[in-house]
């Protein structure tokens, strides 16, 4: 599966369904010009849009929804994620729907539109992406922050 083709298909399906979204995670890091390899697609959506988003991507093959996850429950870092997988032969691609509540409250208010030949894609702002990476705090996230800050200075 081609990650870029999947990204375009997912964002087109969300747009067609009228769902407010923003690309975030490793794909967004790359869109801001920092070199980053990733194996999944992270999309931020409103809590009430999670079921609609799952319905919108199901025809694309994203049919295996995991149990909703809560990360950092009860802390200021609390985040909610709905993971859904696409399995095609031996290939497996994860789509993480990050919920714009708790620590990500208001994150969809700070997004930008990127015009590409394949259409428009909505992406979280660089500042919001850095904030999201700080909240996650994993080694990869800290490395992403460093790359984002360097590419911001360039």
* Residue among 57, 45, 124 nearest 84 (CA): 57
DSSP code of residue 105:
T
Q: Which pLDDT does position 151 carry in this prediction?
A: 61
- Report the domain count for the chain: 1
Query: Residue 15: pLDDT band by 50, 70, 90 thresholds?
Result: very high
Domain hosting 132: range is: 3-153
CA torsion 89-26-4-68 (nearest 10°) is 50
pLDDT tens figures, 36-72: 788 899 999 999 999 999 999 999 999 999 999 999 8
On the 0-12 / 13-18 / 19+ scale of CB atoms within 10 A, 106 is: exposed
- The CATH number of the domain holding residue 62 is 3.30.460.40
pTM value is 0.91
pLDDT tens figures, 79-107: 899 999 999 999 999 999 999 987 888 88
């Amino acid at each position: 599966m081609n990650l870029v083709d999947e990204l375009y298909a997912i964002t087109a399906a969300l747009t067609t369904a009228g769902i407010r979204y923003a690309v975030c995670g490793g794909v967004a890091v790359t869109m801001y010009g920092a070199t980053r390899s990733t194996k999944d697609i992270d999309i931020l959506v409103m809590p009430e849009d999670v079921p609609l988003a799952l319905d919108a991507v199901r025809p694309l093959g994203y049919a295996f929804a995991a149990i909703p996850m809560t990360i950092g429950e009860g802390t200021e870092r609390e985040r909610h994620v709905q993971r859904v997988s696409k399995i095609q032969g031996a290939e497996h691609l994860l789509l993480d729907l990050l919920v714009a509540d708790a620590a990500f409250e208001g994150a969809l208010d700070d997004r930008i539109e990127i015009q590409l030949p394949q259409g428009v894609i909505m992406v979280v702002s660089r500042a919001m992406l850095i904030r999201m990476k700080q909240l996650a705090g994993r080694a990869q996230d800290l490395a992403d922050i460093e790359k984002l800050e360097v590419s911001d200075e360039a």
